[in-house]
Structure 1
């Protein structure tokens, strides 16, 4: 070094960024990202307070979203130490979720948790909320240490919701959604379709929490649960406001209201409602679905359309048995919606509600119309017409020709066969088979189908997930049981299902069957289910 040049002393400051301190490099202290971190593409981290200053920075020092993205290490939330995702049994059970994200700030796209970066406080909280569908939400809520000072400790992931709501959301993600879907597909739509929508709508989020509260209350056998009742009341109020806004033109997209109406249907299913409220929700969903289907696939994704069509068709079809065909011609499934559902059949559709038997469900309105024409005839003793027999034979051929897809799981295959036998029973009893002849061909066909269905049921464990959608065939088959031993077999099975799944409609289905088993046999059968409901005030949904 030339002797005439003054030796420059390097002064290492103690006020630089944490990254430069760890690297033992001089920091130029430029906020929010120092020069050294910019040159080396590193995450620039600053301490909460800087010695000699009262505050860590002024508002102008707060980084923008773009600067945060540049300064983020780019790892997942788990790598950053902000959220812990344990490999718990519940997370393994939710194998239907490969990646669940929250709507991002741009265009409502989903963000993959495995590669999530910190965008802003609101986005981080949405991600953390959805991350709990895999992990445990209470760990995030109760955690006292957030790393990097990105998120204030007191900031809520769900503004306006208390700690109890976190627990209910956790219960929905780990238990309720699992019980509602029948497990026929690896993707659970109650998670991957409903949850992302819920985080974009106060109404849907409230309905998800309400459904979880109703489900948890029934599992605890606490029908007076005040928390579940308060959430239910709040949901009804929000839904009515949403309908009013839609009618006033304030909300042009019916998607949220439609999904809300269908969620309310399943809330009634979870709580075991016996007042028939589900039929009001179905009526609301009908008109909303028609309006939604008018929108293009660009406005509503095709997969989401398919899910809501299946959702409605399934609920509407199995609910028709609750209508007295002698007094009402009401049909929840009109021709246009039926055609939409038939369009799904061309793709060999398998759903988490209708399994592989959507084709059979679409025959229920046809059978209902056939039975209604027969039961509302001018004379009590009139015989079926040639047209009645032609329609009867056509429907019978379609049911007998049907078979489950070979690609489905064994449990789904068995459930499809049970539905097939229940459909035959529903058809055979539509023309007054019990009254036609005491030991005639009608009764023989019915009892043969009952025996087949009971044999299939014995091969299906009561704890199998597919049982979540089996209340309708169990009610149809059970309404025709005469043998006390078979009645006891079905009674024990239904009790085990209700205990395992905690769904109220399973318990109410058994209550209905108990009432039917006390009737004289000619007054039983699936076409008298609605009358028994009327007599005992058990207005339930079999969905």
Structure 2
């Protein structure tokens, strides 16, 4: 909350204190640090009572294993989250030191990666924060007894830490890639059991969750779209299996959590191939109740689940229309009818939430899907559609700060608008917002999206820009 009086605060970030500037105390990144492109570092809070929660346990264990490492900046970077109400007693205090089977390193390096996951990575991935975050309260307790899941978490945390600190020391980098390699090998061993008709369906859900975390890991790296696509194809196969299974899973929270991740990633990836997109599959056990939704629903999708299930339909219509040029199969009237029907569904969508920022981000997706349709099929001129859409975008972005947790999912719709940006103001609007997202969340895919837009904007009219975001000059290829 912004302070309105003139008194100097003792709670400001260290960067503002060092520069003797007034800090608005907005965490994790204050406005001054965002504006000046500075690393926003916060002082450690008063030490919590012994045994009060995960953060204190980790700090005690880290202190007992303390060794001088060049990556000490990682602790300062993560300290802005140390005050948060992390889930209590998620990690038993008896784990001293943590030693993950299959990892080449244990002790201090492992704790540093796990601590970064707890304090930074987990809360950068989702709009549900801290004790409400299923990356913490659902995934982590299971991972403590599961070598595959733990290695996957360590790899994800390490990749995110490397995005934050490219100069990360070699031991932590080695642990990151060793954990990733071991997890991939363990997943290959686990997959036959996941598809075994005689095994528990929990094995398939476990494999699905791991594959989706691998997808998030590659999105955090932001430089290997083929790996992302491979992981998503695996997720489609696993979801098809669990959807058709009549076995009730023993962990409903894992089902809701994994399904939410799947819907989000499958929806956006529906624009990534030059063939008809795969429709989103939902298991029979997964439902959304407006009165009592599962706490694991909304991890990435926020309140926009229905919009995400419509995204592949938009992609399919765009693909069908662009393919008709070389192989006419449908009349113009058929496309027009499909367009109006699909547009009506998107425009009539209503959010199932009273949280303002969740609704704003959902509306951002709504408007980006409408822009994709209207720019291709509307009777109005393309330029008129774009100008109207950008008026709505400017209003939405002015109300949705890039520091909001749900803004971690805003890359794709902002990128869509950036593709259609025509004038300097429209380009700067999307450029500034994406820059802020890169600073706040540290995800490689956000930086890749921004770099791609710069290439598109710099291209000559009619020039085709080789890109991971386009399969051709008409079709979006967004990996997010």
| TM-score relative to the length of structure 1 | 0.65
Equivalent position to 2:180, from 226, 232, 235: 232
Higher mean C-alpha deviation, range 241-250 or range 460-469:
241-250
1:477 aligns with 2:417: yes
1:489 aligns with 2:429: yes
C-alpha separation in 2, matches of 1:188 and 1:531? 35
- 1:114-153 matches, within 5 Å, as 126-129=92-95, 141=97
Could you tell me which residue of structure 2 aligns to residue 397 of structure 1?
344
Could you tell me which residue of structure 2 aligns to residue 423 of structure 1?
369
RMSD between aligned alpha carbons?
Answer: 3.7
Q: 2:376–2:382: 8 Å Cα contact kept in structure 1? A: no
Could you tell me which residue of structure 2 aligns to residue 242 of structure 1?
190
Name the SS for the 2:350 alignment partner: coil
Name the SS for the 2:302 alignment partner: coil
C-alpha separation in 2, matches of 1:469 and 1:202? 29
Q: Deviations over 1:382-431 (max 9, x none)?
A: 995323222211121122222334522x2222212211211111222344
Deviation at 1:374, TM superposition (A): 1.1
C-alpha separation in 1, matches of 2:89 and 2:232? 29
Q: 1:157 to 1:414 in 2, by over 3 A?
A: same
Could you tell me which residue of structure 2 aligns to residue 78 of structure 1?
51
Could you tell me which residue of structure 1 aligns to residue 401 of structure 2?
461
Could you tell me which residue of structure 1 aligns to residue 209 of structure 2?
259
Q: 1:521 to 1:319 in 2, by over 3 A?
A: farther
1:92 aligns with 2:83: yes
C-alpha separation in 1, matches of 2:457 and 2:444? 20
Q: Deviations over 1:141-166 (max 9, x none)?
A: 4xxxxxxxxxxxxxx55456512111
Could you tell me which residue of structure 2 aligns to residue 280 of structure 1?
230
In structure 1, runs of 5+ residues without a counterpart are: 1-75, 103-125, 130-139, 142-155
Q: 2:212–2:262: 8 Å Cα contact kept in structure 1? A: yes
Name the SS for the 1:418 alignment partner: helix
Q: 1:462–1:496: 8 Å Cα contact kept in structure 2? A: yes
Which of the pair has more CA radius of gyration?
Answer: 1
Q: 1:338–1:362: 8 Å Cα contact kept in structure 2? A: no
Could you tell me which residue of structure 2 aligns to residue 306 of structure 1?
256
Could you tell me which residue of structure 1 aligns to residue 447 of structure 2?
507
- 1:48-197 matches, within 5 Å, as 78=51, 90-95=81-86, 97=87, 99-101=88-90, 126-129=92-95, 141=97, 156=98, 158=100, 161-163=105-107, 164-183=109-128, 187-197=132-142
Name the SS for the 2:340 alignment partner: helix
| TM-score relative to the length of structure 2 | 0.73
Equivalent position to 1:407, from 354, 378, 381: 354
Deviation at 1:232, TM superposition (A): 2.5
Deviation at 1:340, TM superposition (A): 7.2
Equivalent position to 1:344, from 279, 288, 291: 288
Equivalences, count: 399
C-alpha separation in 1, matches of 2:247 and 2:318? 38
Q: 1:261–1:281: 8 Å Cα contact kept in structure 2? A: yes
Higher mean C-alpha deviation, range 477-486 or range 512-521:
512-521
- 1:435-446 matches, within 5 Å, as 440-446=380-386
Could you tell me which residue of structure 1 aligns to residue 18 of structure 2?
none
Q: 1:379 to 1:319 in 2, by over 3 A?
A: closer
Q: 1:282 to 1:481 in 2, by over 3 A?
A: same
Q: 1:524 to 1:496 in 2, by over 3 A?
A: farther
Q: 2:307–2:366: 8 Å Cα contact kept in structure 1? A: yes
Q: 1:338 to 1:244 in 2, by over 3 A?
A: closer
Q: 1:479 to 1:392 in 2, by over 3 A?
A: same
Q: 1:320 to 1:297 in 2, by over 3 A?
A: same
C-alpha separation in 2, matches of 1:522 and 1:453? 26
Could you tell me which residue of structure 2 aligns to residue 353 of structure 1?
300
